[in-house]
Chains A and B, each alone.
Chain A
Amino acid sequence: MAKALDLEELTRLYELMMTIEHRMKEIGEDFSYEKQVLENRLEHLRKPLLGELSPWEKVMIARHQKRPTALDLIPHLFDDYTEMHGDRYFGDDPAISGGIAWFGDEPVTVIAQQKGRNTKENIKRNFGMPNPEGYRKSLRLMKQAEKFGRTVICFVDTPGAYPGVGAEERGQAFAIANNLLEMSWLRVPIITIVIGEGGSGGALALGIGDRVYMLEHAIYSVISPDGAAALLWKDASLAEKAAELLKITAQDLFQYQIIDGIIPEPGVGAHFSLTDTAKQIRQHLSLAIAELHSCEIAELIEQRYEKFMKMVRFTESEQTIASSAKPSILV
């Protein structure tokens, strides 16, 4: 069984480490014995705390109840966030919050997948798993942004698009596909930040960005590690192994050039300091917006296209293996 990560304990130890570090600065040269003892302790703490987290530990952090959600971050990033509701076809999906806000002196469109922060809220927000109307609301707000020349900023945090009867009846696949196509050619800059879980097509439906960032311990995957383990080995408890194989960490995806940057998290994760996390996101947003604004829109769309077209891996051979050229006549 994959081991659970005790985030509270991790946080407590991290605070202890900070205290020791602080204490060491106060100690003069004369107290070298005490200093050595503290240094020893520090070494023991540092490794598990600041050494690399395993992919599975990152999954636990990304999914943790205490992790800041988009609606926690938004007040620290924007002013006057004004939420807009509904897809104008069917309903309003609480798993996605969207609206207009000020980023500095510029109005932007914000679209955010939103998990609940407690059980009651999670039921309302369907654990951050959008229905088609959530994706259609997102697209409506993106088209609105396009009309008024607003930059679109998306926050991704979802286990995936909701696998439910109603979702299928209302065309989940069609809603996601449409978002992918429309985002590809949207005539305003798009910035996407994966702040927690980036679950499959349900995440990508907000993920066709000119800049795509991930928080340091966020994950982004074609299938959840649990789901992959169940499919591959008929055993969900092998999720830890699947998490490693699937290459879902920000560090892996940056190396593959799937994302454009990693936003550092404070201490042992974003939950450690909401304001520090927001500050880091704000810096990245400022920089990205400045860069994207200096670009002609036609050029921007061309670059968006070129960037995504590179996200493929195959080998091309002159020779063909199979005799696929000549289909056998059947009837």
Chain B
Amino acid sequence: MKPGRDQGIYCPDCDGRVDREKLYHDWKMCPFCQYHFPLTADERLALTLDRDSFRPIAEGLLTEDCLQFPEYLDKIEQDRRKTNLQEAVLAGVGNIGGHEVVMAAMDTRFRMGSMGSVVGETIVRAIRYAHDTRLPLIVFSASGGARMQEGIFSLMQMGRTAMELGKFHRAGGLYISVLTHPTTGGVTASFAALGDIIIAEPRALIGFAGPRVIQQTIRQQLPEGFQRAEFLQDKGFLDLIVSRPALRETLLKLLNFHKGVRAIG
């Protein structure tokens, strides 16, 4: 917080002071520049799904300190208390305008949305559930990358999620990947990049390497708008950029196009 400032919320993009109450009635977007503040997984589910339609799957997966990494479980415990989540992702079944879908949403408040075993396993189970129930799959990604404290097991979740998606795609399932701010590292380079349709929220940071790492490597100024959603669409990697108020309608439209489509197990 800069000196002389109150406890209010400031837009990271335009620095405008945003009224908390108003923010929550405004899709959590900046009223001045439309910056999309990150949503929690709960908020994402609530904004996307029909009221009270969500039923969780893959609950009760608990993080394990597989490498005996110092302080790891303490940090997990802190984030659990802070977020009221068990891990950095929620998954379940719900409805969008009456269409039943399997949906997962990541939450960057929890270990920066990094992907360890539990995140990987939750995504794998969501894909498998969509496969077995022949439902469309929608995943909202938001991640800082790998869960360092889980070492190689974190890395392997890239392989596992991609592998399971291969099975799902082969069976003819519909997968819509929605990239939100920020989606980087191993999540981008696995399930987030493998949608039949890939959508991003405006100005979301999307990439493999983080901008700081790239800057340190090339020691040059990064181009304007580098790794933002608009940049990625321009380079040919995003089907759609959809602002938050229109997202549910867009998903509904896409689900309608695929009404007859069912994964064939």
- Chain A interface (Cβ within 8 Å of chain B)? 161-165, 167-174, 176-178, 180-182, 184-185, 200-201, 204-205, 207-208, 220-223, 228, 231-232, 245-248, 253, 256, 258, 305, 308-309, 311-331
Are B42 and A328 in contact (CB-based, < 8 A)?
Answer: yes
- Chain B interface (Cβ within 8 Å of chain A)? 24-25, 27, 41-43, 45-47, 49, 51, 54-56, 59-64, 66-67, 69-70, 80, 83-86, 90, 117-118, 120-121, 124, 146, 148, 150-160, 162-163, 165-167, 169-170, 185-186, 188-194, 206-209, 213-214, 217-218, 220, 222-223, 226-227, 235-237
Contact partners of A165 in chain B: CB under 8 A:
214, 218, 220, 222-223, 226
Q: Quick one: which of A308, A320, A330 contacts B156, CB cutoff 8 A?
A: A308
Nearest A residue (CB) for B42: A327
Contact partners of B186 in chain A: CB under 8 A:
200-201, 222
Q: Quick one: which of B151, B167, B213 contacts A163, CB cutoff 8 A?
A: B213
Nearest B residue (CB) for A223: B148
Q: Quick one: which of A247, A258, A324 contacts B56, CB cutoff 8 A?
A: A324
Contact partners of B155 in chain A: CB under 8 A:
200-201, 204, 221-222
CB distance from B68 to the nearest CB of A (A): 8
Tally of A-B residue pairs with Cβ under 8 A?
A: 226
Are A173 and B151 in contact (CB-based, < 8 A)?
Answer: no
Q: Quick one: which of B63, B86, B154, B194 contacts A181, CB cutoff 8 A?
A: B194
Are A312 and B117 in contact (CB-based, < 8 A)?
Answer: yes
A200-B146, A316-B62 given; A324·B159 CB < 8 A: no
A165-B218, A174-B237, A317-B60 are known; give 13 further A-B pairs, CB within 8 A: A164-B217, A165-B222, A169-B235, A177-B191, A180-B159, A184-B163, A201-B185, A221-B152, A256-B153, A316-B61, A324-B59, A330-B43, A331-B46
A222-B151, A231-B148 given; A311·B86 CB < 8 A: no
What are 12 sample pairs from A and B whose C-beta atoms fall under 8 A apart?
A164-B209, A168-B207, A171-B235, A171-B236, A205-B189, A221-B151, A222-B150, A231-B148, A246-B152, A312-B157, A322-B85, A324-B84
CB distance from A212 to the nearest CB of B (A): 11
A177-B194, A315-B62, A320-B60 given; A222·B86 CB < 8 A: no
CB distance from B199 to the nearest CB of A (A): 15
CB distance from B152 to the nearest CB of A (A): 5
A180-B163, A305-B163, A308-B156 given; A201·B148 CB < 8 A: no
A165-B223, A168-B207, A173-B193 given; A312·B120 CB < 8 A: yes
A201-B186, A316-B60, A324-B85 given; A180·B152 CB < 8 A: no
CB distance from B223 to the nearest CB of A (A): 7
